[in-house]
Every structure is written in structure tokens, then in C-alpha cells.
């Protein structure tokens, strides 16, 4: 939401700050073994995480990375969007609702 507000205000410095912090959070939440993002990192020093995967968290990565990619063209944002899009289509398929790619 901060990136969206920065874009609305045409505040490039705020947008870049928010996007870089978003990137850091996505990288910290990414599960390299089973893929997807964890819901929560409750305690950094003790490495206590909620390791369930909820769709809304994956959607936040899709929205943020798409916004960053379309506004800046940054490769990392496009790469995260593609990675997350593939994961969501794989783990939350809509084929049972008649949707196909």
C-alpha cells in the first residue's frame, strides 16, 4: 500500500524505499525448500516462524512485485512476480472452477 500511495503522489524516493523494503521482506519470507512465502516471522533471533502458507500472503507478493515491475522495470520485481505466479497456479489451481491457462 505504501508503494501504491507513493505512485499516486508521484514520490519516486518513497516508492523506491518502499519497494526495496518490500523486496527484503519477500526474500526473508520465501521458503526455498517448499516454495511460497511464510505467513509470519514471529521472532528473528529465535527463528520462530508460522510456516503455513496462506493465499493472501502469496497475493501480496504478486501485487507488490507487479506494481514495482510496471513502475520501474526492475528485473528483481519481474522475477519475483513470475516465480510467485507459477507457485500460485501450481498450488491453488482454478481448474475445478473451469479456468485453464
pLDDT in tens, 6-62: 999 999 999 999 999 999 999 999 999 989 999 988 888 998 888 889 999 999 999
CA gap 82, 84 in Å, rounded: 6
6: cell is 507513493
- Asked if residue 100 belongs to a domain, the reply is no
CA gap 11, 17 in Å, rounded: 10
pTM across the whole model = 0.86
- Nearest residue to 66 via CA among 46, 83, 42: 83
- Asked if residue 9 belongs to a domain, the reply is yes
Model pLDDT, residue 101: 67
Question: How many structural domains is the chain composed of?
Answer: 1
Give residue 53's domain range: 2-93
- Asked if residue 99 belongs to a domain, the reply is no
- Asked if residue 87 belongs to a domain, the reply is yes
Amino acid at each position: 500500500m505504501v508503494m501504491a500511495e507513493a505512485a499516486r503522489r508521484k514520490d519516486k524516493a518513497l516508492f523506491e524505499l518502499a519497494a526495496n523494503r518490500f523486496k527484503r521482506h519477500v526474500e526473508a519470507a520465501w521458503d526455498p525448500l517448499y516454495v511460497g512465502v511464510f505467513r509470519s516471522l514471529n521472532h528473528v533471533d529465535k527463528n520462530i516462524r508460522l510456516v503455513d502458507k496462506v493465499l493472501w500472503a502469496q497475493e501480496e507478493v504478486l501485487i507488490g512485485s507487479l506494481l514495482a515491475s510496471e513502475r520501474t522495470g526492475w528485473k528483481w520485481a519481474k522475477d519475483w512476480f513470475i516465480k510467485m505466479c507459477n507457485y500460485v497456479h501450481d498450488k491453488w489451481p482454478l481448474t475445478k472452477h473451469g479456468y485453464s491457462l
